[in-house]
Amino acid sequence: MAYPIHRPRRLRRTAALRDMVRETTLAPSDFIYPLFVVEGRDVRRPIGSMPGVFNLSLEHTVAEARRAQALGVKAVLLFGIPDFKDAHGTQAYATEGIVQKAVRELKSALPDLLVIVDVCLCEYTDHGHCGLIEAGHVANDATLPLLARMAVTCAQAGADIIAPSDMMDGRVAAIRSALDAARFTDVPVMSYAAKYASAFYGPFREAAQSTPQFGDRRGYQMDPGNTREALKEVDLDLEEGADLVIVKPALAYLDIIRQVRDRVDVPVVAYNVSAEYSMVKAAAQNGWVDGDRMTLEILTSMKRAGSDLIITYHALEASQLLGA
């Protein structure tokens, strides 16, 4: 028998040994930090369902991004929440829209920070859906030009990466074509390629004020039971010009992350979504779990599953823990 010659515990005996042989490691540079930007001055409004996350006016957005960069986080993901919403989401692609202003402020103050913009209409429409409504349904093809316009105005403001999250068919091709036509050929597209219609998005909808006013998003986001469809969506987005692909959510879809990683040669991004974050926070606040250890364990699982980068609301605290 192998025992006692083989004793795997030998390499677990001390912290130094465990660190030396660790297969999967985390670093602040793995994280992308989401920020929710709102109009106004001196706004730092807590999100009730996401302890430690805030709606931020421009100056606080810059300050929060500065803290992230100081901890080694190299990228932020912006969501804009305008004061005015309408059926066409016009503030999404307005030159002076809140997210476009935030991009300019961030690139002026922190030129080395990577600024990624979430491109979708849900935060900007009065009905809360990700596209235009025609005859009571989200109209795929009519939405594409508006997403493309938003991508171009964000690139004009200085965005480093465009991240379409709407799940309209053909939106990567439409955005890539529009960026190229506007001479932003070097701006990458980080596509939410496999985005599931998930119960894990609940707290985000409070943060982004984007709850649908009727129906739900299962007509355009993916069914949680489907794997082959996720791989097809990834393939299609890469064919249309995506440079990076996102799997969202992450924790309940680690198998999808692994299969996507095994299939493609581009960077794979896991989105550690709002409820995944909030569940840890709620359990820790009740004293049921060690929140710090659980946070790092969950993020490690996403990296171990195959993600190269992780979008996470834990970015600041995880970076602090890693540096401790």
**161-199 per-position pLDDT tens digit:** 999 999 999 999 999 999 999 999 999 999 999 999 999
Q: Is 195 a catalytic residue?
A: yes
Q: Which of 74, 85, 107, 248 is catalytic?
A: 248
Half-sphere exposure of 247 (CA within 13 A, CB side): 33
What does the mean pLDDT of the chain come to?
A: 95
**264-287 per-position pLDDT tens digit:** 999 999 999 999 999 999 999 999
Q: How many CB atoms lie within 10 A of CB 1?
A: 5
Handedness of CA 291, 297, 300, 302 (dihedral sign): negative
Of 68-82, 117-131, 147-161, 286-300, the poorest mean pLDDT is in 117-131
Q: Which of 85, 101, 195, 281 is catalytic?
A: 195
Residue environment code for 135-155, b if the CB has 16+ CB neighbours within 10 A, otherwise e: eeebebeebbebbbbbbbbbb
Q: Is 101 a catalytic residue?
A: no
